[in-house]
Chains A and B, each alone.
Chain A
Amino acid sequence: MLFLTGATGLVGGGVLARMLRADPALRVAVLVRDPSRWPAIDRVTPVAGDLCASGLGLTPDVRAALAREVHLVVHAAADVVFSRPLDVARATNVQGTRRVLDLVHEWPRVGQVVYVSTAFVAGRRTGSVAEAEEDGAAGWVNAYEQSKWEAERLVRAATRPWLIVRPSTIVCDDPDGGVVTQYNAVHHAVRLLHRGLVPMIATAPQASVDLVPADYVAGAIAALAVRHDLAGRTLHLCAGAGALAVPDLLENTWEVFARNPAWRRKALPRPVLTDLATYALLERSIDQTGDEMLQRAVRGLSHFAPQLALPKRFETAGADALLGAPAPPVGAYWARVVEHLLAVRWGGGMAA
């Protein structure tokens, strides 16, 4: 039996579907807060629980049953909001992971724990980032990155064989349609660009934007999780060499925006590309003004935008070799993502 956390999310849901499809005999227990809202899926048992509760909030009966049956754990649940305070991010991402690992320690049949981390545990590092890289000395841009790095340390110290996968930022469901089911800071940034509320972008020469579609990540995790020869490996699920340079991303975005004559007529200026020091001055200035709209706009960007000024290239040779192909290059589908966002008006639910 597979024990899966995060099954209600885009990646976890994709992993579940693929693993069920790949193994007709597989049974899965998914950890969910409210089993009554879980759709009935053959061979899948929802178990009530919470990463933030002691023992994941599992009842003794469920815990005992899982101990008897679980042979594989995929821990994909996380608090992925970049703007969380560190203690809040840690509560889910670090303490939650510790609780999963504590249970795994009690479950004798577990042969592997797959931890879904993030490529951005690399934080403020620049340059080439190896898949085996564990160093956190450069620090992090936000509490999400730090908490995931701390969780990785727990996983590496676990008593059972582990595999860590590090997806990049997920930007769409699949590269063909550019469909976006779950919105994040990247989509918010595109919306602010469209509204003409982004005066500048902090970046650096050679900086690029590393993004991946959810189906690539889910497919990769489903394929890698069932292998028994990857214990102790860390793999990047990233665009890597297919990341898109920041000026090119901006250009592609503008090109899609400008197809609308009404938008084009506004003649909104492209943001200026600048350095972190100048961007920090803007942040401070807007903070001083007390202007709520601009504060929201700048703060919405500030939890991840500094990454654009910390040029790094995620190495993907290990994952590419195992999966047989690299992630799709961002430039091949980015325009479709922007088209989709415009078509659905950001799902109508994102505040600008």
Chain B
Amino acid sequence: MTSIAGIAYAFAEEARSVAELGAAGLLASDPAVLEGFGFAHAHVAVAESPYQLALVAARRLLEERRVAPESVDVLLYGGTPGPLAQQPADVPWDGGLLQTTARFKYPAARLQYELGLERATVLGLDQLACVTLFGAVRLGRALCLAEGVDRVLCVASEFFPADAGREAIFNCTSDAAVALLVERAGARNRIAGAAQVTKGYYWDCDALRDEIVASYFPTAVHVVERALAAAGWGPGDVDWVIPHNVSRTSWDILMGLLGLPRARLWAGNIARRGHALAGDNFINLRDALDGGDVRPGEKLLLFAYGYGAHWTALAVEA
């Protein structure tokens, strides 16, 4: 069965407390509200670029898993777009770059070169916000199943736009990159089911923010039910819910809607890491595995929402 054979990540080095972010004017909400939702720190890139963190995460993954670069068949890359991904965070994003041939300076191609992924076909993913890596996993899995590809390296690196502060609908965001390997015949973290729901009506996300908040829970329940059904599981089969690091309160509500006890939510990273847009479910999965909380064979549910229109879930057998 197709599996997530390895995960590595890299956060921006600087971590700031929610109070510090509030004092710096980087939060839309009262810091106390965000602390009440379970956030304590967020990682804020200063001199790093999204590409730089992507390279660190991907290189770390290949080294840890002792994967020969030439054995990677496909590189799927998503995150901060084109040339902007290669600028340090303290350089303002320059939209003018996209009006020149500089827009073709893609980080995915550079990553293939710098990692020595000589055989890898390179594909880019875009427009999925926080569920980019889920999309990559799904595509990687599909390539394994449809084309017999053995190994897909999925990388997402996303920095929150500087002018947006550090908050996305009551969530405190972190800059990070995540890399993972999807393999056709892996023994661990087997992908048992996947589902994504896109509701295009919400494309104008800032204008429809209240409607999106209201839609979040029912659509989340729907997509989770679909992913679990694809795996042949019921909610009661789930040993751990591996979350994206959004408001702890919202997770308590979702766990209630799914009829799952809160103790099955692996929530330790919400306070410590904040919401990493690049794919914090997978960061959490790695930490939960490393810490021994998740044991082989346990059934895991990963759910995430991509701001705007995308809800997605994965059923994974550890």
Write the nearest CB–CB distance from B301 to chain A, whole angstroms. Answer: 17
Do B218 and A267 touch (CB < 8 A)?
no
Do B217 and A272 touch (CB < 8 A)?
yes
Do A195 and B247 touch (CB < 8 A)?
no
Q: What mask results when residues 18 to 32 of chain B are scored 1 for a CB within 8 Å of chain A, else 0? A: 000000000001100
Closest residue on chain B to residue A196 by CB atoms? B211
Task: Tell whether A265 is near chain B: CB-to-CB under 8 Å.
Answer: yes
Write the nearest CB–CB distance from A292 to chain B, whole angstroms. Answer: 9
Q: How far is the CA of A272 from the CA of B221 in the complex (A)?
A: 8
In the assembled complex, which residues on chain B have CB atoms less than 8 Å from the CB atom of A150? none
Task: Tell whether B214 is near chain A: CB-to-CB under 8 Å.
Answer: yes
Task: Tell whether A42 is near chain B: CB-to-CB under 8 Å.
Answer: no
Task: Tell whether A289 is near chain B: CB-to-CB under 8 Å.
Answer: yes
User: From residue 186 to 235 of chain B, which have CB atoms closer than 8 A to chain A?
Assistant: 199-201, 210-211, 213-219, 221-222
Write the nearest CB–CB distance from A279 to chain B, whole angstroms. Answer: 9
Do B257 and A294 touch (CB < 8 A)?
no
Do A195 and B253 touch (CB < 8 A)?
no
Task: Tell whether B252 is near chain A: CB-to-CB under 8 Å.
Answer: yes
Stretch at the interface among A135-143, A152-160, A183-191, A280-288: A280-288
Secondary structure dominating the interface of B: helix
Do A285 and B247 touch (CB < 8 A)?
yes
Do A285 and B249 touch (CB < 8 A)?
yes
User: From residue 259 to 273 of chain A, which have CB atoms closer than 8 A to chain B?
Assistant: 265-272
Task: Tell whether B37 is near chain A: CB-to-CB under 8 Å.
Answer: yes
In the assembled complex, which residues on chain A have CB atoms less than 8 Å from the CB atom of B217? 199-200, 272, 282
Number of A-B contacts (CB under 8 A): 73
Which of A274, A275, A294 meets B210, CB within 8 Å? A294
Task: Tell whether A297 is near chain B: CB-to-CB under 8 Å.
Answer: yes
Task: Tell whether A277 is near chain B: CB-to-CB under 8 Å.
Answer: yes
Do B36 and A200 touch (CB < 8 A)?
no
Do B214 and A285 touch (CB < 8 A)?
no
In the assembled complex, which residues on chain A have CB atoms less than 8 Å from the CB atom of B37? 288
Task: Tell whether A278 is near chain B: CB-to-CB under 8 Å.
Answer: yes
Which of B36, B219, B256 meets A269, CB within 8 Å? B219
Do A297 and B214 touch (CB < 8 A)?
yes
Do A281 and B214 touch (CB < 8 A)?
no
Closest residue on chain B to residue A269 by CB atoms? B218
In the assembled complex, which residues on chain B have CB atoms less than 8 Å from the CB atom of A200? 217-218, 257
Task: Tell whether B170 is near chain A: CB-to-CB under 8 Å.
Answer: yes
Which of A268, A281, A290, A291 meets B252, CB within 8 Å? A281
Write the nearest CB–CB distance from B94 to chain A, whole angstroms. Answer: 33
Do A294 and B253 touch (CB < 8 A)?
no
Q: How far is the CA of A345 from the CA of B214 in the complex (A)?
A: 21
Task: Tell whether B33 is near chain A: CB-to-CB under 8 Å.
Answer: yes
Do A199 and B213 touch (CB < 8 A)?
yes
Which of B211, B221, B257 meets A197, CB within 8 Å? B211
In the assembled complex, which residues on chain B have CB atoms less than 8 Å from the CB atom of A271? 218
Do B218 and A270 touch (CB < 8 A)?
yes
Task: Tell whether A293 is near chain B: CB-to-CB under 8 Å.
Answer: yes
Which of A195, A285, A288 meets B211, CB within 8 Å? A195
Q: How far is the CA of A199 from the CA of B30 in the complex (A)?
A: 24
Task: Tell whether A198 is near chain B: CB-to-CB under 8 Å.
Answer: yes
Write the nearest CB–CB distance from A267 to chain B, whole angstroms. Answer: 5
Q: How far is the CA of A269 from the CA of B226 in the complex (A)?
A: 14
Do B216 and A199 touch (CB < 8 A)?
yes
Do B257 and A274 touch (CB < 8 A)?
yes
Closest residue on chain B to residue A275 by CB atoms? B256
In the assembled complex, which residues on chain B have CB atoms less than 8 Å from the CB atom of A277? 256
In the assembled complex, which residues on chain A have CB atoms less than 8 Å from the CB atom of B200? 267
Task: Return 30 A-B CB contacts under 8 Å, by A number.
Answer: A196-B214, A197-B214, A199-B214, A199-B215, A199-B216, A267-B199, A267-B201, A268-B201, A269-B215, A269-B218, A269-B219, A271-B218, A272-B221, A272-B257, A274-B256, A274-B257, A277-B256, A281-B249, A281-B256, A284-B249, A285-B249, A288-B36, A289-B33, A290-B30, A290-B33, A291-B213, A293-B210, A294-B210, A294-B214, A297-B210
Where the two chains meet, the residues of B that have a C-beta atom closer than 8 Å to any C-beta of A are 29-30, 33, 36-37, 170, 199-201, 210-211, 213-219, 221-222, 247, 249-250, 252-253, 256-257
**A-B complex: 7 closest residue pairs judged by Cβ atoms:** A278-B256, A269-B218, A266-B201, A293-B210, A199-B217, A285-B249, A199-B214
